[in-house]
A and B are shown apart, each in its own frame.
Chain A
Amino acid sequence: MSLKPTSNPSRWQFLVLLLTSLSALLGVASTPVEARVQAVLIWGTDEAKPTGKNLKEVDSKLRDRLANVFKWKNYFEVNRQTATLPSSVKVQTIKLSEECSVEVKLLPENVAEVKLIGKGKAMVTRRHSLSKPDALVLAGDDKNKTAWFVVLNFN
């Protein structure tokens, strides 16, 4: 039995086209995209709003989401910052208070690395998939049975 070259090259053209398309799709999927991040520093407490303080309650939607997960009754917004993360910028730092800031870095495969900085020290480093619509909440205990929250939303 002898092998003879096919006179119809369409099969190979089809394969090449398919491989090229797949490579392009995979390449696009792994390329870091520009992302917009909103960081909100929130104070959670069971007490009423402190008098004379310029605190505002978080919007009802976010308040309900937090209250469904955490035990505190009231959630006050301390600071809100929004930043754009172009893929060309390596690390974006968002300052939320004197003691607290977050560093956000885009990684390949649609992942963001978030570093919570407290008093100049990395408290926690979290890799967060941007393929999900999840908000990333970094939180911890504060004094007098209160808590702090850093809510990060990517889009």
Chain B
Amino acid sequence: MNTELKLQALLDGALDAREIREIEAILAQDIQSAALMQELKWMKAAVAGNEAEVKLPETREFYWSKIERGIAAEAKQAAAAPAERAWWLRFIYPATGLAAMVAVMFVVSGGRTTDGADTESVPEDVNAISFRSEAEAMSVVYVADENGTFNPVGQETKNEPEADK
């Protein structure tokens, strides 16, 4: 500890008897240290004697109760914010899970679009090809009757000669 700090400690009464004797020996021999000690004493006396007195406009109890109410209000506000967030989370999490479940059910069931429902079946002696024209919005099943006996458009309609029958 240097001399300045020891002087300050002496002024604050923080030194033991041995240290007090040592610093007093220094003050007796060193004029600068003695002058510094004197200045520190003046400074302490000036601060102690001229400290500004702050007076509260209300009673001490009322002043502290205001601080207490302020702390309580802040704590209440801080507690309210997470609660509101949790309200949304309570809806979001189940809704997300439900949506995922519905999506899985939709995929597993092949969907409700019934696009895959377009199927045909024909007897053994009938050949059929099917295709879809996207441009004409037309699903076609073209039937080839091997026996050639199916003529839905009557001969009388087509005005065919008898020999063609």
CB-contacts of A96-153 with B (<8 A) = 96-100, 109-111, 116, 118-119, 121-144, 146, 148, 150
Contact A148 B153 (CB under 8 A): yes
**B94 touching A11, Cβ below 8 Å:** yes
* Cβ 8 A contact of A125, one of B102, B118, B121, B138: B121
Q: Interface range on chain A: under 10, 10 to 19, 20 to 34, or 35 or more?
A: 35 or more
Which interface residue of B95, B113, B128, B151 has the most chain A CB atoms within 10 A?
B151
Q: Is the CB of A55 within 8 A of B120?
A: no
Instruction: Please provide the chain B residues from 133 to 155 with a CB less than 8 Å away from any CB of chain A in the complex.
Output: 133, 135-145, 148-154
Within 108-141 of B, Cβ neighbours of A (below 8 Å) are at: 112-123, 126, 128, 130, 132-133, 135-141
How many Å lie between the Cα of A84 and that of B142 in the bound state? 25
Q: Say yes or no for A29: interface residue by CB 8 A criterion.
A: yes
Contact across chains for B137 and A53 when beta carbons are under 8 A apart: no
Q: Which residue of A lies closest to B134 (CB)?
A: A134
Contacts of B145 in A (CB 8 A): 118, 123, 140-141
Inter-subunit contact B138/A124 (CB<8 Å) = no
Q: Does B43 sit at the interface, judged by CB under 8 A? A: no
Complex: chain B residue closest to A126, CB-CB:
B120
How many residue pairs link A and B with beta carbons under 8 A? The number is 158
B residues near A135, Cβ cutoff 8 Å: 137-139
Inside 8 A of A111's CB, which chain B residues have their CB?
114, 117
Looking at the assembled complex, report how far the CB atom of B141 sits from the nearest CB atom of chain A, in whole angstroms: 5
Contact across chains for B138 and A29 when beta carbons are under 8 A apart: no
Pair B138/A65 contact, Cβ less than 8 Å: yes
Minimum CB–CB distance from A126 to chain B (whole Å) comes to: 4
B50 within 8 Å of A by Cβ?
A: no
B-chain residues with CB within 8 Å of residue A50 when the two chains form the complex: 157-159
Contacts of B136 in A (CB 8 A): 65, 68-69
